[in-house]
Amino acid sequence: MSQNTPGHSRGLKKTHKATIAGVAALGAAALTLSLVPGNGSTETEPQALNTTQRVAWSYDASSPQAKALAASVTDQHTTIGLKAKQDAAAKAQAQAAAKAKAAKAEKAAKAAKAKAAAKAKADAAAKKRAAEAKAAAKKRAAQKTAASRSVTRTPVFANNLDGWIREALYIMDKHNIPGSYHGLHKNIMRESSGNPYAINNWDINARNGVPSKGLLQVIYPTFKAYHVPGTKFDQYDPVANIVAAANYAADRYGSIDNVNSAY
């Protein structure tokens, strides 16, 4: 088993290998081998070396060969270092490009998601508006149909006191005028005994030139002020007379039902 020298690494880096190779070459080029005989004399003919003869060698660092070799090794070191820096820079550039690409892709994905969400929201709002418009149109159509049916179903009332009171109540209901059949009937019987052409020519109103007329004995100023559109503008018209009188009584007494005497 071989042992490593303490303090030294087992492996050699590229730079170490290049340096060793350079030094080896330098040594080989600069070696001056001198075969010196044991007695120091120079022979013109080569002689075989024996075991007692010594090989003398020397290394001259200042020689042109040594300097050239050293420069070559330095250049090799510089080239290796530059290549390492270039590789590191290329790797860093590639990593930065990959990071930028990933960030761009993430940004695009977020933008697409936001756009899709906005579109979904807009579609939902449009769908809601369409549904509301459809519901409103349906409601208007239903109201129109109901109104049309109401017109076609307008009851036909008899041309007598019962029919006049019922028709008056029908109109009063449309105009939110309070009153009942009983309240109208009792006041009509007290005021005119059911005669739509009854007239009072003896009270204070008559003396003032505005006699009370009709089923509920209404004077002209009151009839004019409380006349309800849709009825005839005629004090002697039984339905118009009842509705105007009931409208006046509602304004002054709360309802014709609250009237039990001259009003």
pLDDT of residue 22: 52
- Report d(CA 61, CA 158) in Å as an integer: 146
> For the residues of 154-175, what is the DSSP string, one character each?
PPPPPSSHHHHHHHHHHHHHHT
Look up residue 155 and give its amino acid.
P
Sign of the Cα pseudo-torsion (28, 29, 32, 35, in order): positive
pTM of the model: 0.44
- For 112-130, what is the mean pLDDT? 91
Q: Which of 67, 63, 36, 41 is nearest to 52 (CA)?
A: 36
- Report d(CA 139, CA 89) in Å as an integer: 74
Among 38-47, 51-60, 139-148, 228-237, the range scoring the smallest mean pLDDT is 38-47
User: Please, which pLDDT band fits residue 72 given cuts at 50, 70 and 90?
Assistant: confident
- Report d(CA 250, CA 168) in Å as an integer: 14
pLDDT of residue 64: 79
Task: Convert the pLDDT of each residue in 123-181 to its tens digit.
Answer: 999 989 898 888 888 888 888 776 666 555 679 999 999 999 999 999 999 999 999 99
- Report d(CA 100, CA 93) in Å as an integer: 10
User: Please, which pLDDT band fits residue 51 given cuts at 50, 70 and 90?
Assistant: very low
How many other C-beta atoms are found inside a 10 Å radius of the C-beta of residue 138? Answer: 10
> Is the pLDDT assigned to residue 188 strictly greater than 90?
yes
